Chains A and B, each alone.
Chain A
Amino acid sequence: MTSTDGSGATALLRAHALHKSFGRTEALRGASVEVAAGEVVALTGPSGSGKSTLLLCLAGVLRPEAGSVAYDGSRLDDLPEATRTRLRRREFGLVLQFGQLVPELSAVQNVMVPLLLERHGRAAARTAALAWLDRLGAAGLADALPGDLSGGESQRVAMARALVTGPSVVFADEPTGSLDRVSGEDVMEVLVSTAQSTGAAVVLVTHDNRVAAYADREVVLRDGAVDDPAVVR
């Protein structure tokens, strides 16, 4: 598997030579990656290699200091915060390892949030959210609070929230990191098969090879850049 680029001409998401630092730590040093529509890409690499930072830059959450991120042919890294926020909620979904659900909101209310932002109206939002929970096998959890859900159940709710707006890309940062193998497999199965059926691309950060094997393609990061073993450093 080559690691740097997908099918260049049809790339939906394209990051070029990204640099990003946190204080004195250089998380990204010239990382480039492309993601085609409907593709499942795994970002892997050792801890501190910049996988999560790259994911958040691709998702328009973090802003790189240098380099560019383009979605659907136009740059998103230089958009103002408000525009990026709107882009994120229409085009992207995000699943984290844990702790992303709002603790006061029930499962179905958590899933309703992106729809309410798009002014779908209460009843319509609730119907759509319930349908998604049902689709992800979490219909029985609709009225449970996140504190009462198991790790796997929380991830199902989080995935429903990420998928409910019909995003073009779902970003998942260690989605199975807090789960045992079997629950993790379950979550990956649901994420990948649902994304495939809706045509969404998936960008996945993981250090678990079995999770990475769900992806069509793997991009290995090392020291903030895409690892190319042919280049002697």
Chain B
Amino acid sequence: MSTAHVLLGVLAGGPAHGYDLKREHDARLPGAKPLAYGQVYATLARLERDGQVEVAATEGGSGPERTVYAISEVGEEVLLDWLATPEQPGPYAAEELVRKTVTALRLHRDARPFLAAQRALHLERMRALVAEQRAAPDVEARIALDHTIVHLDADLRWLDDAAARVADEGNALR
């Protein structure tokens, strides 16, 4: 899980408190699942334990007390290390889509209505993402959305191929 690294990346730009970190994380990765507050603080606690972040200040005021974190030298090293290391290309777990389709086909049920409905839903999501991308203010946001769109596109192509194979099979049986 690289949430820690993304947060380190945000902190590398300057000290911030938990709420800012969450907002910046979500803004940097549109189309991904928003970060939960609990996760932000858990991660920060772990980073602090490992000496990668330090408490820079504690802001008081009218509201609750807020801790401002900054990246440490160790943290910077860890961050640069992470940026320089390529990721494993897979394997990825079979998705619910695949499980459902294969199960349906094994039971000799017609998978096409499911595939078509799924395609419509996927395209709907794609449309929303493309709209979001068209409205995106900067190139970083568009790039982040590209990743989600391309993966969604892979699913869509898989759905198309599956539908074509099921149709071919149906034609062959007739």
Classify A-B as touching or not with yes or no (CB < 8 A).
Answer: yes
- A9 on interface, CB distance cutoff 8 Å: no
Residue of B nearest to A1 (CB): B120
Check if A213 sits within 8 Å of B126, measured CB to CB. Answer: yes
Which residue in A46, A209, A232 is a CB contact (below 8 Å) of B123?
A: A209
Are B116 and A232 in contact, with the CB atoms below 8 A?
Answer: no
Asked whether B147 is an interface residue with its Cβ less than 8 Å from the other chain, the reply is no
B112 touches A229 (CB 8 A): yes
Interface residue count on the B side (C-beta < 8 Å): 24
| B24 in the interface (beta carbon within 8 A) | no
Q: Does A227 contact B (CB under 8 A)?
A: yes
Interface pair A233/B170, CB less than 8 Å apart: yes
Q: Is B134 engaged at the interface, CB distance under 8 Å to the other chain?
A: yes
From 200 to 233 in chain A, residues with beta carbon under 8 angstroms from any chain B beta carbon are 209-210, 212-215, 218, 220, 222, 227, 229-230, 232-233
Q: Which of A214, A218, A229 is within 8 Å of B130, CB to CB?
A: A214
Interface residues on A, range: 10 to 19
User: How far is the CB of B111 from the nearest CB of chain A, in Å?
Assistant: 10
Q: Which of B110, B157, B164 contacts A209 (CB 8 A)?
A: B157
Contact: B113 with A229, CB < 8 Å?
yes
Task: Give chain B residues whose Cβ lies under 8 Å from the Cβ of A46.
Answer: 160, 164
A189 and B153 contact, CB distance less than 8 A: no
Q: Does B149 contact A (CB under 8 A)?
A: yes
Neighbouring A residues of B157 by C-beta, 8 Å: 209
Q: Evaluate contact between A209 and B153: CB separation under 8 angstroms.
A: yes
Give chain A nearest CB distance to B167 CB in angstroms: 7
> Is A209 in contact with B156, judged by CB distance below 8 angstroms?
yes
CA distance in complex: A227, B170 (Å): 15
Residue in A closest to B124 when the chains form the complex, CB atoms: A1
Q: Which residues of B contact A220 (CB under 8 A)?
A: 116, 119
Give the residue name and chain of the B residue nearest to A229 (CB).
B116
Question: Bound state CA distance, A100 and B149, in angstroms?
Answer: 30
A-B contact pairs, 10 of them (CB 8 A): A1-B120, A1-B123, A46-B164, A209-B126, A209-B152, A209-B153, A212-B126, A215-B127, A218-B123, A222-B167
Q: Which 6 A-B pairs give the minimum distances between C-beta atoms?
A: A229-B116, A213-B126, A213-B130, A209-B156, A213-B127, A1-B120
**Chain A residues proximal to chain B, CB less than 8 Å:** 1, 46, 189, 209-210, 212-215, 218, 220, 222, 227, 229-230, 232-233
